A and B are shown apart, each in its own frame.
Chain A
Amino acid sequence: MSDVVEKTLTALPGLFDSQTGAARITNRLRQLIKSITELTSKHDEEKLIKQELSAMKEQVSSPNTTMKQMREVMVRAMYCEMLGYDASFTYIHAIKLAQQGGVLEKRVGYLAVSLFLNEGHELLLLLVNTVLKDLQSTNLIEACMALTVVAQVFPKDMIPAVLPLVEDKLSHPKEIIRRKAVLALYKFHLIAPTQVQHIHGKFRKALCDKDPGVMTSSLHIYLQLITESPDDYKDLTGSFVTILKQVVGGKLPVEFDYHGVPAPWLQIQLLRILSLLGREDPSTSELMYEVLDESLRRAEMNHNITYAILYECVKAVHTIHPKAELLEKAARCIGNFVLSPKINLKYLGLKALTYVVQHDARLALQHQMTIIECLDHTDYTIKRETLELLFRITNAQNVTVIVEKMLDFLHGCNDEHTIIHLVGKVTELAEKYPFFEFAPDNSWFIQTMNDVFSTGGDLLQQDVPNNFLRLLAEGSESKEEDDQLRLYAVDSYLTVLKRDASHLPQRFLQVMSWVLGEYTPLHESVDQREVICLLTKLLDQRSVSSETRVWILSALTKISEGQTDLILELAESLSSSQDTVLRQQAQELCQLTQDSQLYERVLPRGAPWDGMEVDSSLSFLDGFVSEALAAGAAPYKPPHQRQEELCEDRALNLEPYSFSLPVSLSSCSITDRPSPTLLSVSSGLSGNSTELSQKAGSSTLSLEGVKRVWGKDGYLRQNETTAPLVDEPNAAVQASGQQEAAERSEPQPEPSTQNQDKQQLASSLFVGLGAGSSMSLLGKSEAPPPRFRKKPRPHSSSSSGTSERSSESSSHCTTESFLYGRLLEEEPATSISAFSHNPKSSTANGLARNEDRRTNTSQILGGDLVLVRPNMIQDEHPPPGSSDLTALLPADLKDLPHSDVISLTSDPSLSLSSCRLFRDEALLLVILISNCTETEIKDVAVQLTCDELETASLRGNVMNCLEGNSTSVCHYALLMDNPHTNVSFTGTVSYQTQPGHTNTLPFSGTLSTADFIRPLVLTTEEYGKLWLTLSHDVKQNLKLLIDASDPLRTTLNALRDALQLHVVDIIGSEGIVACRLLSGASCLLHCRVNGDALAMWLRSPLPALPDCILYHCQRALAQH
């Protein structure tokens, strides 16, 4: 007895401690929360939390902390994180808690994980095993928690690990598990659709689940799938309709009701799915008319939830193939929304209207007075939605009023996102209708854009000013109108500049200076001196950015003619500027004004600016460069090459001097040059000022180019307006517009208390929305034809951006120089016939030549090096009795280009030799096994291993029996995915000369990249396009074979013969060559004669390929 008492007593302190401890902790969270709510200053809070966090840190790192205490700490950590303090030291403990704790701890741990970490967090990987374990747990709660966390945060890469388990859960007896599993799969589908493709069948099972909850969850997946490809799921329409019918008919258990409405969420989901399925599909739509009608009818109760369903119904009715009866009912519904005194419903009504006016603009007419009211609503959200609606119903007649309303809103708005959004819309409208038909002059467009520029300011997308300037510059068909517009622009900008210009956004100033520079000379009544003075004044302003200064100076250059005194003064003042670009431009300006002949050449008067050709290859400098080179200047090296060489200098060079091996090259080119493109950009931007000013200069000159770089969106929009080039007489539009205005005023309800202003506004807003013109409003593309039409331009309408264009221009300039360049050889060297591995004829002649080469190479390389190269094969041990083993090749392979047969190894009974056959998609390595004895050899088996290569297929590697003095053939089709300069393979042949006695014969050999290179046949244009898409490039100077009459051609032909390249074109001193790695990655080579060297520029999608090819080129040339 006393024993027991003693035991209890000794145990008591521990019990006591842990209990009070736990209680204290619970209290601690409460205390923390309490004391924080009591605190008044942010500073005190910070202090308190800091204390708390350091206490927690201590606690989590202490080994004595129990799981229960940890749980409490975790809850406190969540609280601190919610207050915005960093408790990241607890993240790992959250994972631990989920891993090691009991159910209770797991619950907290999983919650903390889902709150703390997001999908990309690396710690989540540690959770994968825990999740796997819990998914397999028989405890329902644990499985639930695991599924919940999977559906919330789970690393994408680890999905395959849990997928089978989650899939299994789809047939779990408990509906809660099935439901969560479906949602987890939905999440997987969202983040990694390809991973769950194979279980689409199981989704159907979930859709048919007897539990409504599981079925509802599966609809999330179906909505997503149907959004992606509605056509694949048309067969389910019937099922969805049946489900909706049952739901609407109240067949679901009452627990799914929400305020008396049966399963509203389910209904809405189904309505969305149906509208997607019925879109532009009359027969499918037919199936759902009845149930839609039923839904519209049933949803009559005056509660938010019924309105939510009604809204979806209306949208569905307008999305599917139209049915007049339903449309009418839907329109009445919209009326209920819009006229509702509840502001939320009004908002949704506006939203519904915005949606439906796309299909039928007349619907807006019925509610015009409400719309006007909403336009002046105090609520910003309502106002904005109304503008959205107005934007949709804009036509040529109401555009001024609507744009005015939008600009009004913009003036009072300070939210960046809204400004950008709305300014885009205004610009779109303004550009669509640049000449307002009823305006007395062209001022509207310019004024509107002025407003856009001054309010939108520097938040604007770059394409807004670019588009505007393009529009001005390219003009319409009528020269007179264009000039009027331009002159007006000049006038209005002068007015703006005469006022205080210091607050104007930079973008606006840039636009102004471009227009002034370009069009001031057009304007006779404007004093050029005044313009120059204004621009000069602008230059002096502190608020003007240096980019804008460049624009201004360019403008000044254009209008400087005859104003030598002013310009010289300006150039003088700028010559001491800190900005090198400005200084240089000022210098140029100075030179130009003093030399009027040069000025005339540089800036010819009245020359169309879009006809300008830019010689991007700078070929006109060739003379200068070659002179400089002759005078002993070092050849130009691009910055990244310089950097490479620097690296090489720094490291010890262990390579032989004759060729720089790509091993070192590739390592430094990969590590030290993270991205060649980025580097080249920085070299284009920084570095010498000439390059910079070129960039700035070109942005003022050829806006066209700049725009293409940036403006895909802008471009598309532009296209949209240019698309409808329907020539419709303007008079007709005008007349019909007036007619409609008359028609429209008739059915308009007479509002008793509306004041005259609103009436007037309404008539100006809704003009042109009558029956007649609604036709043209059905689709945006069918909007009334803008009078301001762009000139069709020969090569500008594509929206695919620079790549196409610059390739176009580059091909243009190449063909141009091609015309002037001499075609030296009769053989154009562009066809595949130039292929080097001409099937080897076994004539004595051919062999002799090879023999020659062989001795030649072995002199250079040393005889012991086994060089595996086409046409340069050492047959050191010609297999006995088989001078021409190629005759043994299978018939289907005989015609393929192949190398010589080289001996691999031999022993008294067997001799092995190999031959490489160059198939288009693989390298065939043929191993010839000859029996040198008189007796037969049994069970011959060849095994080949090579880590770097992939064996696509093999044939004949096992033979039961090889007769005396015969030869058997086995071949491997090898693929190279990642380029390696040289690849060695090893292998063994096992055979039995006597039964039970197995011999093995090892062999090895080398293959080079060159064996895997195939010519890539393409045209010069294709080459140009491809060149721009490739990212990895390497440059190197190679030896030029100068002793020949045409060094470039000889060198390229030598490379072609050695490496199976395809010479695409040779133009003057440049040649372009292409090849690919089997049927995979391509590599393009650009060669240029540079003094005594061949400047080679290689590009490829694979980083290592150019280096490998370069290496082989070097070797090939060294052997010449």
Chain B
Amino acid sequence: MKGQESLDVAKGRASNVTGFLTSAFTAIRHEAYAHGIECNINLKMQFMLLFSRQGKLRLQKWYVPLSDTQKKKISREVIQMVLARKPKMCSFLEWRDVKIVYKRYASLYFCCAVQDQENELITLEIIHRYVELLDKYFGSVCELDIIFNFEKAYYILDEFILGGEAQETSKKNVLKAIEQADMLQEEAEAPRSVLEEIGLT
């Protein structure tokens, strides 16, 4: 084979071709990594999805920066996978390089993606605590509450989890914060209801 090399060689001077190729390939690989879900930020929770049994998204919160197309692709894949699981199976799924932890409450699936090394059981309890918070806030919460008041559900989530980490685990404190903000809302909206009572609407 030795000679073929010399037969095949280009007629121009092209020393250090391998050097060029290496750097180009590494550049390509870096690019590939940058577009994957791999993220240099070491966040515990990567995203949270709430979706119905029919696969309709009810809430989505992303803690890693991703493009819209990536988000759509990921949520589609995850929803499909989780819906395909049978009830007796365990609540964890390995998907790409993350762990999907999910739990079904009535008709609604709560689903979190966490780092591979993360403790799945505690993530399950985070989901549960969130459901408890929703339940307390709405008063025996159901899917419709979340559909129609999804922004409230977001507010609660933001008080509970901030930037991918549990912010406040005390139920009382979270609800206190939400109530304080809500009170402002009521004050601001109060004049309108008075007018409504007069019968202007």
Partner pick for B195 among A15, A103, A307, A616, CB 8 A cutoff: A15
**Given the complex, which residues of B lie within 8 Å of A148, measured CB to CB?**
158, 162
List A77-114 residues whose CB lies under 8 Å from chain B: 78-79, 82-84, 86, 102-104, 107-108, 111, 114
Decide yes or no: A37 and B147 within 8 Å by CB, A103-B184, A190-B42, A612-B1 being known contacts. Answer: yes
Q: Do B200 and A16 touch (CB < 8 A)?
A: yes
Bound-complex Cα distance A614 to B14 (A)? 13
Contact of A183 among B41, B72, B86, B165 (CB under 8 A): B165
Q: Which residues of A contact B192 (CB under 8 A)?
A: 19, 22
- Decide: B8 and A311 in contact? CB cutoff 8 A: no
Assess whether A118 is interfacial by the CB under 8 Å rule: yes
Please determine whether A616 and B16 come into contact, CB atoms closer than 8 angstroms: yes
Residues of chain A lying within 8 A (CB to CB) of residue B122: 264-265, 268, 305, 308
Which size class do B's interface residues fall under?
35 or more
Asked if A678 CB lies within 8 Å of chain B CBs, one says: yes
Shortest beta-carbon distance, B159 to chain A, in Å? 8
Q: By the criterion CB–CB under 8 Å, are A19 and B90 in contact?
A: no
Residues 598-615 of chain A, each 1 if its beta carbon lies under 8 Å from chain B, else 0:
100111100101001011
A636 touches B13 (CB 8 A): yes
Residues of A within 8 A of B97 (CB): 417
Give chain A nearest CB distance to B178 CB in angstroms: 11
> What string of 1s and 0s marks CB contacts (under 8 Å) between B1-20 and chain A?
11111111111111111111
The residue in chain A whose Cβ has the minimal distance to the Cβ of B147 is A33
A23 at the interface (CB under 8 A from B): yes
Judged by a CB distance under 8 angstroms, whether A667 is at the interface is no
Q: How far is the CA of A1118 from the CA of B2 in the complex (A)?
A: 45
Contact A694 B170 (CB under 8 A): no
Interface 1/0 per residue, A67-84 and B, CB below 8 Å = 000000001001100111
| A861 is an interface residue with CB less than 8 A from chain B | no
Query: Please, which residues of chain B bring their CB within 8 A of the CB of A37?
Result: 147
Contact with A along B173-201 (1 / 0, CB 8 A): 10001001100110011001001100011
Tell which of A152, A602, A616 touches B2, judged by Cβ atoms closer than 8 Å: A602
B20 near A680: Cβ-Cβ < 8 Å = yes
* B149: min CB distance to chain A, Å: 10
Q: Is the CB of A79 within 8 A of B150?
A: yes
User: In the complex, A351 Cα to B120 Cα: how many Å?
Assistant: 10
**What per-residue 1/0 map shows which CB atoms of B58-72 lie under 8 Å from chain A?**
111111011010001
Cα distance, A37 to B2, chains bound together (Å) = 71
Interface-centre pick from A621, A638, A681 (highest chain B CB count, 10 A): A681
- B188 pairs with A176, CB closer than 8 A: no
| Contact assessment for A603 and B1 in the assembled complex, using a CB-CB cutoff below 8 Å | yes
Contact stretch, chosen from A340-348, A504-512, A746-754: A340-348
B90 close to A255 (CB less than 8 A): no
Docked-complex contact A344 and B10, CB < 8 angstroms:
no
B95 at the interface (CB under 8 A from A): yes
Bound Cα distance from A810 to B17, whole angstroms = 11
Cα-based distance from A382 to B181 in the complex (angstroms): 44
- Please, how many angstroms separate the alpha-carbon atoms of A151 and B7 in the complex? 62
Q: Which residues of A contact B60 (CB under 8 A)?
A: 82
A to B contact number (C-beta, < 8 Å) = 273
Shortest CB distance A94–B (Å): 12
Nearest Cβ distance between residue A478 and chain B, in whole angstroms?
Answer: 25
Q: With contacts A347-B92, A381-B92 known, is A690 near B16, CB below 8 A?
A: no
CB-based nearest B residue for A693 = B8
Given contacts A22-B192, A810-B15, contact A344 B90 (CB under 8 A): yes
Alpha-carbon gap, A616 to B18, bound state (A): 9
CA distance A75 to B154 in the complex (A): 11
CA–CA, A609 and B1, complex, Å: 8
Are A107 and B10 closer than 8 Å at their CB atoms? no
Inter-chain contact A176/B16, CB cutoff 8 Å: no
Question: Is the beta-carbon distance between B158 and A382 smaller than 8 angstroms?
Answer: no
B9, B19, B63, B94: the one within 8 Å of A803 (CB): B19
Bound: A468/B63 CA distance, A: 40
A594 interface hit (Cβ, 8 Å): no
Bound-complex Cα distance A616 to B58 (A): 61
B148–A33 touching, CB < 8 Å = yes
Establish whether residues A690 and B188, one from each chain, have CB atoms under 8 Å apart when the complex forms. no
Are B16's CB and A307's CB within 8 A?
no
Q: Which of these, A83, A111, A346, contacts B151 with CB under 8 Å? A: A111
Please indicate the chain B residues that have their CB under 8 angstroms from the CB of A266 in the complex: 169
Whether B154 and A688, one on each chain, are in contact in the complex, defined by CB atoms closer than 8 angstroms, is: no
User: In the bound complex, do residue B20 and residue A684 qualify as a contact, i.e. CB atoms below 8 Å apart?
Assistant: yes
Tell yes or no: B131 within 8 A of A by CB.
Answer: no
Q: Is the pair B9, A694 in contact by a Cβ cutoff of 8 Å?
A: yes
Cβ-defined contact, B17 with A684, below 8 A: yes
Cα–Cα distance between A191 and B147 once the two chains are bound (Å): 34
Complex Cα gap A701–B2 (Å):
8
Interface pair B11/A308, CB less than 8 Å apart? no
Chain A residues in 8 Å Cβ range of B166: 216, 265
Indicate if A815 sits at the interface (CB-CB under 8 A). Answer: no
Question: CA of A620 to CA of B2 in the docked complex: distance in angstroms?
Answer: 14
B107: CB under 8 A from chain A? Answer: no
**Nearest opposing residue in chain A for B154, CB measure:** A111
A224 contacts partner chain B, Cβ-Cβ < 8 Å: yes
Q: CB distance A186 to B89 under 8 Å?
A: no
How far apart are the CA atoms of A277 and B3 in the complex, in Å?
60
| With contact pairs A15-B195, A84-B72, A636-B12 given, residues A684 and B21 touching in the complex (Cβ less than 8 Å) | yes
CB of B20 within 8 A of CB of A111, answer: no
With a CB–CB cut-off of 8 A, which chain A residues contact B162?
148, 151-152, 180, 183
Q: How far is the CA of A23 from the CA of B15 in the complex (A)?
A: 75
Report yes or no: A118 in contact with B66, Cβ–Cβ below 8 A: yes
A220 at the interface (CB under 8 A from B): yes
| Highest count of chain B CB atoms <10 Å: which of A19, A82, A263, A612 | A82
The yes or no answer to B104 lying at the interface (CB within 8 A) is no
Interface string of B105-131 (1 = CB under 8 A from A): 000000000000001111011000100
Is the beta-carbon distance between B154 and A220 smaller than 8 angstroms? no
List A contacts of B62 (CB < 8 A): 118
* A 612-631 to B, binary, CB cutoff 8 A, 1 in contact else 0: 10111110110011000000
Taking CB atoms, residues of chain B closer than 8 Å to A801 are 22
Asked if residues A1031 and B23 are in contact (CB atoms below 8 Å), the reply is yes
B33 an interface residue at 8 Å Cβ cutoff? Answer: no
Q: Which of B25, B94, B129, B162 has the most CB of A within 10 A?
A: B162
Known: A148-B158, A176-B173. A186 touches B124 (CB 8 A): no
Asked whether, in the complex, the Cβ of B93 is within 8 Å of the Cβ of A264, the reply is no
Measured between alpha carbons, how far is A118 from B20 in the docked complex, in Å?
35
* Given A603-B1, A1031-B23, A15 contacting B163 (CB threshold 8 A): no
- Pick the residue among B89, B121, B173 that contacts A379 (CB under 8 A): B89
CB within 8 Å for A694 and B16 given contacts A16-B200, A83-B57 = no
Q: Judging by beta carbons under 8 Å apart, are A709 and B155 in contact?
A: no
B30 contacts chain A at the CB level, 8 A cutoff: no
Is A343 a contact partner of B21 (Cβ separation < 8 A)?
no
Judging by beta carbons under 8 Å apart, are B125 and A304 in contact?
yes
Q: Find out whether the CB atom of A19 lies under 8 angstroms from the CB atom of B201.
A: yes
Q: How far is the CA of A380 from the CA of B200 in the complex (A)?
A: 61
Q: Tell me whether B119 and A183 are in contact (CB under 8 A).
A: no
**Cβ-defined partner of B24 (8 Å) among A19, A678, A1027:** A678
A312 CA to B165 CA, complexed, in Å = 17
The answer to the question of A705 belonging to the interface, with a C-beta cut-off of 8 Å to chain B, is yes
Contact yes or no, B90 A617, CB < 8 A? no
Q: Which residue of A lies closest to B1 (CB)?
A: A701
Q: B120–A348 contact, CB under 8 A?
A: yes
Q: Are A638 and B12 in contact (CB under 8 A)?
A: yes
Residue on A nearest B132 in the bound complex, by CB? A258
- Name the residue on B nearest A310 (C-beta): B121
Is the CB–CB distance between A618 and B14 below 8 Å? yes
10 contacts between A and B (CB under 8 A): A19-B195, A152-B158, A343-B90, A344-B120, A348-B119, A381-B94, A385-B94, A624-B11, A681-B24, A694-B10
Further pairs besides A220-B165, A351-B120, A614-B5: 12, Cβ < 8 Å: A30-B148, A104-B188, A120-B65, A187-B163, A213-B168, A308-B122, A588-B4, A681-B21, A690-B8, A698-B8, A701-B1, A802-B21
The 7 lowest CB-CB distance pairs between A and B, nearest first, are: A602-B3, A308-B121, A118-B65, A694-B8, A343-B90, A681-B24, A308-B122
